[in-house]
Amino acid sequence: MRHAPFVRAVSFVRLTMIAAIGIAFGGGCAATVNPEQMVPRSLAPAGRRSEKTVSVAAVTGGAEPNKLVVELMDQVNIGNAEFRVALIKALEASGVFREVLTTETSDYQLDAHIVSQQPQRAGFLTVTSSFVVNYSIRETGSNREVWRDTIISHETAEGAPFTEGVPGAMKKSLAGAARQNLTEMIEKISRQIQ
C-alpha cells in the first residue's frame, strides 16, 4: 500500500508525456503561411501598365482560422486573409495596374478562390505541395468578366532536421507554390488587361 502514491505519480507523468507527444505530433491548431513568404521575390516589370485601378475582393476557399487538426499534413496551410495580403502586395509590386485598392470603388475587381492546397510527403523531411486557385477579373461598372483562369502550381521543399522538420517543409513548399501561382497569374493578366 505504501507504493500507491509513487505508482500514481509515475502514471501521471506517463500520461502527461503521452499527451504532450500527441499534441506535438498529431494535434493542435493549424499554422498559416505568412503572407510575406508567398509574395514573389522578383517580378518582371509589367510589359504594359493599365491606367485602371483594381480592388481585391476577400479570398475564399482557403483554410479556416484556428481550425483544430489531427493529421500531420494538415498542420500548415494557407488562409484566406493571408493569401489576400500576398495577392495585394504582388499586384502592387508588379505595376500592372495604376493602383491596387482594398475597399474603394475601382475600375476592376479581382476575385480569387482557393480550390485546393495539398501538401504531400515526398521524403523523410521533404514535402511537395500543389496549390490551385480560380481567378477572375470583372469590370465593376458593367459587371462584365474580362479575364478568368485556374492556375495550378507545385513546389518541393525540405525542412531542416531538428529545427523545422516536416512542418517547416510544408510551410516552405506551400509558400513556394503560392509564389509560383501569383507569378503566373500576374504574367497572364499583364498580357490581357489594358
Q: Give the domain ranges of the chain.
A: 31-67+76-192
Contact 39, 78 (CB under 8 A): no
The predicted pLDDT at position 63 comes to: 82
The predicted pLDDT at position 9 comes to: 52
Please give the residue that has the higher pLDDT: either 162 or 57.
Answer: 57
pTM of the model: 0.80
What's the average model confidence in pLDDT over 19-39?
A: 68
The predicted pLDDT at position 103 comes to: 74
Please say if the pLDDT value at position 15 is more than 50: no
- Write out the H or E segment, with its range, that includes residue 59: none
What's the average model confidence in pLDDT over 88-96?
A: 94
What superfamily in CATH does domain 31-67+76-192 come from? ABC-type transport auxiliary lipoprotein component (3.40.50.10610)
What's the average model confidence in pLDDT over 53-61?
A: 96
- Write out the H or E segment, with its range, that includes residue 110: strand 108-121
